[in-house]
Amino acid sequence: MINFFAETEFQLKGEDKISAWINNAITAENKIEGEINFIFVNDDYLLDLNEKFLNHDTLTDIITFDNSVGNILHADIYISTERVQDNATDFKVSFQEELHRVMIHGVLHLAGYGDKTDDEVAVMRARENHYLERL
């Protein structure tokens, strides 16, 4: 089950469509949808999590807490809508496009994709683009 929560005034548009899209991506990656919670927050909230749990004193757009068991994906995925907006402006894309990219990015991490090396980043971007075309 995919759930959407907000610690701010943010409201996700098209929850049913996005849930189906994410489920289709999970299935295409030969994984099983467990409980995945998307929690939309502000920069301060995500910075606090980043400091407490990852010992990083930097702003980020997403933190994924992976609780998966085998091929069943379970996670809490925190997304800063403020970072998403800033990134959308920087990359000259719409807020919605950047939000969807960040969301599928978190799911792809759960499916086993990394982004620490240039090669991993290239594969991650290709998979993101693949799924964004299907939304």
How many domains, the chain?
1
Residue 126: pLDDT band (50, 70, 90) is very high
In the three-class reduction of DSSP (H, G, I as helix; E, B as strand; rest coil), residue 112 is classed as: coil
| pLDDT (average), residues 66-70 | 96
The annotation places the binding site at: 105, 109, 115
Q: Is 2 exposed, middle or buried (0-12, 13-18, 19+ CB in 10 A)?
A: buried
pLDDT in tens, 83-124: 999 999 999 999 999 999 999 999 999 999 999 999 999 999
Q: Which residue segment(s) compose the domain that 43 sits in?
A: 2-132
CATH of the domain at 115: 3.40.390.30
CA–CA separation, 105 and 116 (whole Å)? 13
The annotation places the binding site for Zn(2+) at: 105, 109, 115
pLDDT in tens, 77-90: 999 999 999 999 99
Q: What is the C-alpha end-to-end distance of the chain, expressed in Å?
A: 18
Measured CA to CA in angstroms, residue 28 lies from 59, 60, 111, 135 at distances of 31, 28, 10, 14
